[in-house]
C-alpha cells in the first residue's frame, strides 16, 4: 500500500471517529426514538472504521449508553398496544431491534481479540462486552414479548453463546460494574421470564414479572445433572435456538448435553410473597411495585407459582381445523350479546386453525381487534356448516396472542364452557355497589365440578357470602350464592367457583 493511500485511510478513520463523537455530543441528553435510525448509522460507521480493538470498545460503549437511554424511554410506549400493532409502530420497533442486533454482533466481534495470541485484551473488556451483548439480547427478547411477536431466528442461540463464552472464560459468576448482577444471574433472569409464557400476559403484567425476577433473592444454578424436584426442573440445550424445556413435558435426547436448573426456589419465594400480601403486608414492605397488591398482581403471582413450580403437561392432543368463527371480546360486550342476540354487536371473524377438548387456536380474518386482551373473556360461534350443528357461543379466556406483522394476529383460547347465562350481581350488604353484569358458567366435569361466576376484577372475594344473582333466563330468577374459591384472576376478569349460600 502506498504512503498516500495509508494517509487517506488514516484521515478517513479519523473523520469517522470525529463524526461519531460530534454526533454523540449533539445527541447528549436526548432519548427520543427518532434518534434510533441515526444512532444505527453511527454504529455502522464505527463498524467500517479501521481502529484498534480498545478504541472500538470505548466508542461502542458510548453508542451503547445512548441506545440504552432510547430503549428505556421507548419501552413504556409499547405498553397496552392493541394487536396487531400499527405499521408505523412496527417500523419504529424494527429500527430499534435492528440497532440492538447490530450492537450485539459488534460486541461479539470485539471478543475476537481473545483468540489472537499476539494480542492481550484489557482484563475487564471481555466481561463488559459479554454483559452488554446479553443485555442487548435481553432487550430484544423483551420488546418481542411486548409486541407479541416471536423472537427472530438465532436470537436464543446468541444468548446461549454469550453464556457459554462466559463459562469458558470463568467470568459467569463475576459481579458486574457497580455491584450489578453477574452474567449468570442475567442469563437466569432472561430464562425465567421466557419460561413464564410471556405471550399469556399483558404488557403491565410482563413489566411486573421482569421487576419481580430482577429483585428476587433467588438465583438459578446450572448443572449437567438434574437437581431438585422433577416437577420444577427445566433444561436447556446451548446448541439450540430455544429458551428452555420443562422436564415433565419433554426429556432431552441422548444426543444432547443439557444444562439443568430448578425453579423450586423462586416458585416458593413467589408463593411466600402471595401469602404475605394476602395476610395484609403492603407491596412496599416486600420490595414490590404497587401493582403486586392489585387483583391482577395477585393473579400473576398465583400463575407464576404453577408455571415455575409445577408446569402442566398438555392434557389433549390438537386437531388441525379450517373453519370460520365469529368472536365477541370482553365481558360487557358478551353480556350484551347474550341478552340481545338480535342487536348489532361489534364482532370479528376468525379462522379456527386447530382445536382440542379444552381450547382453540384462531387466526384473524376480518373485523376490529382493538378490544382483544390476553386474559380477557371472549366467546366464539362457529359459522358455515358448523353453525347448524352447534349454535352456542363457547365461552373462553384468551391465553396467548402472537402478531408477526401488522396484518396478522393469532390467539389461543382456553375453553371455559360451551354456553353461559347472563346474570346481575347484587350485594345486599353493600347497597352503594349497584348491580354488575356477570356470567354464570355451568359445571363441566371432570374439569370443573361446580358452577363458576365471571365478574369484573375487585368485585368479590374468595369467600364472599350473601351474593344475590338476578338470573335472566326465560323468566327472571333470584339466587343467593357464596364464592368458594378463585379459579382465575387477570387484569380483565375474575372467575370464582360458587355454590348456594344455605345460610
pLDDT at 62 over 80: yes
CA distance 283 to 276: 9
Average pLDDT over residues 319-335: 91
Query: What pLDDT score was predicted for residue 112?
Result: 75
Query: What pLDDT score was predicted for residue 389?
Result: 46
Query: What pLDDT score was predicted for residue 65?
Result: 94
Q: Retrieve residue 407's grid coordinates.
A: 396484518
CB 369 within 8 A of CB 410: no
Any bridge partners for residue 364, and if so which? 350
Classify the phi-psi angles of 466: left when phi > 0, otherwise alpha if psi is within -120 to 50, otherwise beta: left
Average pLDDT over residues 441-470: 85
Total residues found in the chain within this entry? 503
CA distance 398 to 377: 7
Average pLDDT over residues 274-279: 94
Classify the phi-psi angles of 114: left when phi > 0, otherwise alpha if psi is within -120 to 50, otherwise beta: alpha
| pLDDT band at residue 433 under the 50/70/90 scheme | low
114 versus 359: which is more confidently predicted? 359
Model pLDDT for residues 360-412, shown as the tens digit of each residue = 999 999 998 888 888 999 999 998 654 444 468 999 999 999 888 777 899 99
Query: What pLDDT score was predicted for residue 404?
Result: 80
Q: Retrieve residue 224's grid coordinates.
A: 449437567
Instruction: Return all residues near 4 (Cβ < 8 A) that are at least 6 apart.
Output: none
Query: What pLDDT score was predicted for residue 308?
Result: 96
CA distance 496 to 66: 48
Report DSSP letters for 393-442, one per residue: PEEEEEEEEEEEETTEEEEEEEEEES--EEEEEE-TT-GGG--EEEEEEP
Percent of all residues in the chain with a pLDDT value above 70, rounded to a whole number? 89
Helix then strand count (H, E) for the chain reads 12, 15
Average pLDDT over residues 205-214: 94
| pLDDT band at residue 12 under the 50/70/90 scheme | low
Q: Retrieve residue 198's grid coordinates.
A: 410471556
pTM of the model: 0.86
Q: How much of the chain is helix, strand and coil, in % rounded to 5?
A: 45, 25, 35
Query: What pLDDT score was predicted for residue 87?
Result: 82
205 to each of 346, 406, 497, how far by Cα in Å? 27, 23, 24
Cis? peptide before 84, omega within 30° of 0: yes
CA distance 94 to 405: 11
Cα of 135 vs its chain's centroid, Å = 17
Task: State which H helix or E strand residue 236 sits in.
Answer: strand 233-236
Of the listed ranges 62-66, 270-274, 460-464, the least confidently predicted one is 460-464
Average pLDDT over residues 351-355: 93
Cα of 275 vs its chain's centroid, Å = 24
CA distance 494 to 503: 24
pLDDT at 92 over 60: yes
Average pLDDT over residues 211-230: 92
pLDDT at 58 over 80: yes
CB 154 within 8 A of CB 202: no
CA distance 137 to 243: 13
| pLDDT band at residue 10 under the 50/70/90 scheme | low
pLDDT at 121 over 70: no
CA distance 47 to 56: 8
pLDDT at 463 over 90: no
pLDDT at 352 over 90: yes
pLDDT at 122 over 50: no
pLDDT at 233 over 60: yes
pLDDT at 421 over 80: yes
Average pLDDT of the chain is 87
Burial class (CB in 10 A: 0-12, 13-18, 19+), 230: exposed
pLDDT at 447 over 70: no
19 to each of 22, 39, 64, 110, how far by Cα in Å? 5, 12, 16, 21
What b-and-e string marks burial along 48-58, b requiring 16 or more CB atoms within 10 Å of the CB?
ebeeebeebbe
pLDDT at 292 over 50: yes
Q: What angle do CA 247, 250, 252 make, to 5 degrees?
A: 85
| pLDDT band at residue 350 under the 50/70/90 scheme | very high
pLDDT at 288 over 60: yes
pLDDT at 446 over 90: no
Average pLDDT over residues 121-148: 86
3-state SS, residue 67: helix
Amino acid at each position: 500500500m502506498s504512503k498516500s493511500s495509508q494517509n487517506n485511510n488514516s484521515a478517513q478513520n479519523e473523520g469517522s471517529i470525529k463524526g461519531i463523537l460530534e454526533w454523540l455530543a449533539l445527541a447528549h441528553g436526548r432519548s427520543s426514538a427518532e434518534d434510533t435510525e441515526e444512532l444505527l448509522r453511527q454504529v455502522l460507521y464505527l463498524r467500517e472504521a479501521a481502529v484498534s480493538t480498545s478504541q472500538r470498545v470505548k466508542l461502542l460503549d458510548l453508542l451503547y449508553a445512548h441506545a440504552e437511554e432510547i430503549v428505556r424511554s421507548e419501552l413504556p410506549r409499547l405498553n397496552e398496544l392493541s394487536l396487531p400493532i400499527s405499521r408505523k409502530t412496527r417500523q419504529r420497533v424494527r429500527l430499534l431491534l435492528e440497532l440492538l442486533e447490530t450492537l450485539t454482533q459488534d460486541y461479539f466481534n470485539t471478543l475476537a481479540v481473545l483468540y489472537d495470541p499476539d494480542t492481550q485484551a484489557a482484563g475487564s473488556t471481555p466481561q463488559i462486552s459479554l454483559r452488554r451483548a446479553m443485555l442487548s439480547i435481553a432487550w430484544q427478547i423483551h420488546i418481542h414479548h411486548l409486541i407479541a411477536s416471536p423472537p427472530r431466528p438465532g436470537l436464543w442461540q446468541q444468548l446461549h453463546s454469550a453464556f457459554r463464552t462466559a463459562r469458558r472464560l470463568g467470568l459467569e459468576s463475576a459481579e458486574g460494574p457497580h455491584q450489578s448482577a453477574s452474567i449468570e444471574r442475567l442469563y437466569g433472569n432472561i430464562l425465567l421470564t421466557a419460561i413464564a409464557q410471556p405471550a399469556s400476559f399483558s404488557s403491565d403484567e410482563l413489566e411486573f414479572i421482569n421487576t419481580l425476577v430482577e429483585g428476587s433473592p433467588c438465583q438459578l444454578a446450572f448443572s449437567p445433572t438434574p437437581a431438585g424436584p422433577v416437577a420444577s426442573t427445566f433444561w436447556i440445550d446451548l446448541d439450540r435456538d430455544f429458551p428452555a424445556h420443562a422436564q415433565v413435558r419433554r426429556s432431552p435426547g441422548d444426543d444432547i448435553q443439557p444444562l439443568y436448573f430448578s425453579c423450586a426456589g423462586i416458585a416458593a419465594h413467589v408463593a411466600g410473597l402471595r401469602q404475605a400480601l394476602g395476610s395484609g403486608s403492603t407491596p412496599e414492605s416486600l420490595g414490590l411495585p404497587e401493582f403486586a397488591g392489585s387483583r391482577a398482581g395477585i393473579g400473576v403471582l398465583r400463575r407464576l407459582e404453577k408455571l415455575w413450580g409445577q408446569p402442566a403437561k398438555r392434557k389433549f392432543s390438537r386437531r388441525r381445523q379450517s373453519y370460520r368463527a365469529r368472536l365477541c371480546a370482553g365481558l360487557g360486550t358478551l353480556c350484551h350479546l347474550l341478552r340481545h342476540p338480535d342487536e348489532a354487536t361489534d364482532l370479528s371473524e376468525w379462522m379456527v386453525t386447530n382445536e382440542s377438548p379444552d381450547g382453540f387456536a384462531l387466526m384473524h380474518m376480518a373485523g376490529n381487534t382493538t378490544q382483544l386482551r390476553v386474559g380477557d373473556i371472549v366467546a366464539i360461534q362457529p359459522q358455515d356448516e358448523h353453525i347448524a350443528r352447534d349454535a352456542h357461543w363457547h365461552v373462553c379466556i384468551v391465553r396467548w396472542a402472537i402478531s408477526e406483522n401488522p396484518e396478522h394476529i393469532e390467539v389461543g383460547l382456553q375453553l371455559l364452557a360451551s354456553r353461559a347465562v347472563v346474570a346481575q350481581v347484587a350485594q345486599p350488604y353493600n347497597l352503594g355497589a349497584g348491580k354488575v353484569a356477570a356470567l354464570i358458567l355451568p359445571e363441566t366435569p371432570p374439569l370443573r365440578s361446580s358452577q363458576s361466576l365471571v365478574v369484573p376484577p375487585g368485585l368479590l372475594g374468595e369467600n364472599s357470602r350473601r351474593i344475590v344473582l338476578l338470573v335472566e333466563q326465560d323468566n327472571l330468577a333470584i339466587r343467593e350464592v357464596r364464592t368458594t374459591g378463585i379459579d382465575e384472576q387477570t387484569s380483565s376478569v375474575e372467575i370464582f367457583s360458587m355454590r348456594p349460600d344455605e345460610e
